[in-house]
Structure 1
């Protein structure tokens, strides 16, 4: 008859010229009915997540066979993405219709959505499952997002799911120079996160500045006409 076992996990770390590695050792011990102590061990070597710049990421793809997984939402992905990448979003559009969500969505759309073009999203509950459907646990995955935060969060989830060969682009695609990767979309990779009123802020400022300068020159050189147009109270 099997005994009652209790887990006792331990972790060892070591370094090599290939980077930091983590050795996980999990043991279970317990007593059988006859009183004999039984032990089982399960050892797994797990690599730390690599954080690389754009040029290093390009090398990982070309020389080490890393597959690019874009974890951004659909809107940013459609504006620009690395050619032949896999799109598995960490966040998806939140179309729930409960009262609380409707209020939050309305507030979001009138501020963040309006000014920054950010969609109202929620965590994708099928993210890890979707990755598993496309990649085995020994696959080499390069996770990318726009700023670097979502890819780091996605890497953490995949590590917990048993994926050991994961890399992320530090600071995300916003730090990628034009031409670094072959891309698809209507804009450059580093500009895919720009949308909403903020994208025309510069143009508005230029127009307003021009109007103000012209008004100042008009008042300076044609004071009589300016007085007629803008009579003082």
Structure 2
């Protein structure tokens, strides 16, 4: 396999097999194997692989990130799938996850996809040119290693993932930009809430001719309950996909 990218490698392996005896002298057969290594590329190099070398994009992200934004005409084969197991240990872990990582960062509770390699094999031959992408580059690297071990010869991987892609770099489908597909949960609206509360506080301070009262440690500002109520109502009114 030849390539114009510096990060592409060819790995030579030798294996020794049991032999026999010729005229009283034992011998062993040695075979030479050539195995193609994974080709790590940048976003710009990835565009060239697709346009010039005919690589097919395989998106290995989970379903939620894929639905937010993905490269047009790509194939979706997730490396991790939703973990819906109902054994006691999984239920506890899922509950803890959903109340923290799921709520604040929108991360789904997943497990390794046991059918990943087989799913790729059912769609592509070992000689197919495949460009693997994920959001940060970690899952695509792991997926590339699995496929390389399974015998695929032309595997490329985007090093920094879709988060490093500039807006408009690829034709995409979804409700957001490719680089923002990994952002979800309450952290995405934290800035909006802070801006609203800051505006309310600033307006109240400027419009009031009386200096704010000083409250003792035993008393509570009268507006605290209203602010908490406002935050709760604001979060409750969010679209489902923003906090999932």
- TM-score of the superposition, structure 2-length normalised? 0.79
Q: Tell me which protein shows more strand as a share of its residues.
A: 1
Shift, 1:87, TM fit? 0.5
Quick one: which of 2, 11, 21 aligns to 2:10? 21
Residue 98, structure 1, aligned to residue 87, structure 2: yes
Structure 1 vs Structure 2 CA RMSD: 2.4
Shift, 1:31, TM fit? 4.1
CA contact (8 A) 1:52 1:167 kept: yes
Shift, 1:36, TM fit? 6.8
Quick one: which of 95, 108, 113 aligns to 1:119? 108
Shift, 1:43, TM fit? 3.1
Q: Mark the CA change 1:88 to 1:41 in structure 2 (over 3 Å): closer, same or farther.
A: farther
Write the mapping of 1:65-80 to structure 2, written as runs, cut at 5 A.
65-80=54-69
Q: Mark the CA change 1:134 to 1:44 in structure 2 (over 3 Å): closer, same or farther.
A: farther
- TM-score of the superposition, structure 1-length normalised? 0.83
Residue 222, structure 1, aligned to residue 177, structure 2: no
C-alpha separation in 2, matches of 1:174 and 1:158: 23
Q: Mark the CA change 1:17 to 1:57 in structure 2 (over 3 Å): closer, same or farther.
A: closer
Residue 148, structure 1, aligned to residue 137, structure 2: yes
CA deviations 1:125-168 (Å, max 9, x no partner) are 11111111111111111000011110011111111112221111
Aligned length: 213
C-alpha separation in 1, matches of 2:140 and 2:153: 15
Shift, 1:215, TM fit? 3.2
> Which residue does the alignment assign to 1:50?
39
Quick one: which of 187, 191, 199 aligns to 2:180? 191
CA contact (8 A) 1:29 1:37 kept: no
Q: Mark the CA change 1:96 to 1:16 in structure 2 (over 3 Å): closer, same or farther.
A: closer
CA contact (8 A) 2:9 2:39 kept: no
CA deviations 1:93-118 (Å, max 9, x no partner) are 00111000000000000000000111
> Which residue does the alignment assign to 1:167?
156
Residue 200, structure 1, aligned to residue 200, structure 2: no
C-alpha separation in 2, matches of 1:165 and 1:152: 14
C-alpha separation in 1, matches of 2:185 and 2:24: 70
